[in-house]
Amino acid sequence: MLGSFAGLGAFGALAAAGCSAPSGAASGQTRLRYWHLFGGGDGANMTAMLDAFQAEHPDIDLEAATLQWGSPYYTKLGMAGAGGRAPEVAALHLARLAGFAPGRLLDAFDLDLLAEHGVTAADFPVDLWRRGAVDGVQYAVPLDTHPMVLYYNTDVCERAGLLDGDGRLRPVEGADAFAEAVRAAGEVTGGPGLVAETLGADTIGPWRMFNTFYAQTGGQLLTEDGTRIAIDDAKALTVLRYMRRLTEEGLCVERADYQGSVGIFAAGETGFFLNGEWEVTTYLNTGLPFSMARVPNLFGTAATQADCHAFVLPHQTGRGGASNEAAHAFVAWMLTHSVDWAAGGHVPAYLPTLEEPDYLAMRPQSEYREVIDEVVLDPQVWFAGSASRLWIELGAVFAGVLTGSRTPEDGLAEARSRLQELLDTPSPFGETA
């Protein structure tokens, strides 16, 4: 975890020892190093895009490194940035930006240089672009958003009378209506109609479910400045009681870890699955009859929990010159070719891609593209974002609510306690520069 770092002095020593400067590129080429954390289907898509970029840019010597997902990746990236000897460009989860010391571990983008390659702020949803800025300086450029979505088995849902004439899920509005749709699917399968991740080591699914439903109520987790808890107890309890209702009434599988939840839906045992959209490749490869939709509006809006992959420029001492220009050219190219990235289920953040015929023909990946305007990222604090302490600690708390080992009231009290502990813990990076 980022929170385990003792301080920036340790970063600098480790970075100097483990991230030495590279040797020169081939004659006439500009060396461009890129670090990312994409594996599985995402990794295959990324590799194909990198190969295409390299083929079109023979003057750039692209060196891509795939590092271990989660905390190990961010540890290494932080060490490299602290030592000023980082790669030219890297991937970062956007919700982690506030905790990654922009101005100290990250360098700012040159927006004029990015514009020379055809990419400007107007090409992105306003809120996502703003999340990449700190104090008006752009430190991250979003590649996509990867939201919580609703998978549905088209055979099960057709038999349950839940599909329209085009074979799509009929609109569902309200918590009771969703419960009834799930119940109808369960009557077809002879068991729970819904599956989601509810438990497991470092479980995050329960947090993502809570945050989706709580965001729909309009509730806030923290104050805008990220310094105090702002939970609306009434709204939070409404959500937590609903989550417990789903499992207690047998509508949702009560005990399923992440891989178990993926397998249960793959086996056709449920009609619905709440998860991130990245499992689309899994199900396309199995031939499962399924489609996907945005999470229904259960509590007032159609907001949904999400994070975003983004590009950042890790801090380099003396950043500039041909390598920095290559980094900007690379980011722009990846964005303007992000229809290929969308195959893995992520919704491209580069808005022109959403209108490309090749993307619109991509089913079910384009079925939930409208969610781009209603995704909810974590508060802008150092302990938030994918694989963060926030996700894991609150995931464990809300897992207890789903499985019945905690009451909703106990879950809320414990969530408040853990949030306060995180707020009272200083950021390992201190303030931004």
Note whether residue 212 is domain-resident: yes
Query: Which element (helix H / strand E) includes 83?
Result: helix 71-83
| Structural domain ending residue among the three candidates 337, 357, 373 | 373
For residue 153, list its beta bridge partners.
290
Residue 136 has pLDDT above 60, yes or no: yes
Q: Is residue 111 part of a domain?
A: yes
Chain centroid, CA 97 distance in Å:
13
Burial tier of 127 (Cβ tally within 10 Å: 0-12, 13-18, 19+): middle
And the tokens for 97? 């930006």
Instruction: Looking at the structure, tell me whether residues 100 and 138 fall in a common domain.
Output: yes
Q: Are residues 161 and 267 in the same domain?
A: yes
CA dihedral 58, 63, 69, 70 (to 10 degrees): -110
With contact defined as beta carbons under 8 Å apart, do 386 and 95 qualify? yes
Q: pLDDT for 327-374, tens place per residue?
A: 999 999 999 999 999 999 999 999 999 999 999 999 999 999 999 999
> Are both 262 and 401 inside the same structural domain?
yes
Which pLDDT band holds residue 40 (cuts at 50, 70, 90)?
confident
User: Do residues 9 and 154 both lie within one domain?
Assistant: no
Helices assigned H by DSSP within 119-227: 126-131, 154-159, 175-189, 205-216
pLDDT of 9 over the 50 cut: no
The reported pLDDT for the residue numbered 82 is 87
**Whether residue 140 is found in the same domain as residue 152:** no
Query: 233 with 330, same domain?
Result: no
CATH assignment of the domain containing 337: 3.40.190.10
Paired sense of beta strands 30-36 and 60-66, if any: parallel
Nearest to 70 by CA among 13, 2, 7, 15: 2
Task: Inform me whether the pLDDT recorded for 19 exceeds 70.
Answer: no
Cβ atoms of 30 and 59 within 8 Å: the answer is yes
Query: Domain for residue 9, yes or no?
Result: yes
Residue 172 and residue 136 share a domain: no
Q: Do 161 and 129 belong together in one domain?
A: no
Q: Per the structure block, which two tokens stand in for 65?
A: 């490194």
Whether residues 10 and 137 share a domain: the answer is yes
The predicted model scores a pTM of 0.91
First to last CA, the chain: 22
Task: Give φ, ψ of 275 to 5 degrees.
Answer: -170, 175
One domain for residues 406 and 262: yes
Position 131 in a domain:
yes
Residues 192 and 261 in one domain: yes
Identify whether 430 is part of a domain: no
Answer whether residue 431 is part of any domain.
no
**Sequence-distant (≥ 6) Cβ neighbours of residue 371 within 8 angstroms:** 145, 147, 149, 294, 302, 304, 306, 347
Residue with tokens 């709204």: 235
**Domain residues for 61?**
2-145+307-373
Please say which residue of 373, 391, 414 terminates a domain.
373
Q: Are residues 28 and 85 in the same domain?
A: yes
Count structural domains, the chain. Answer: 2
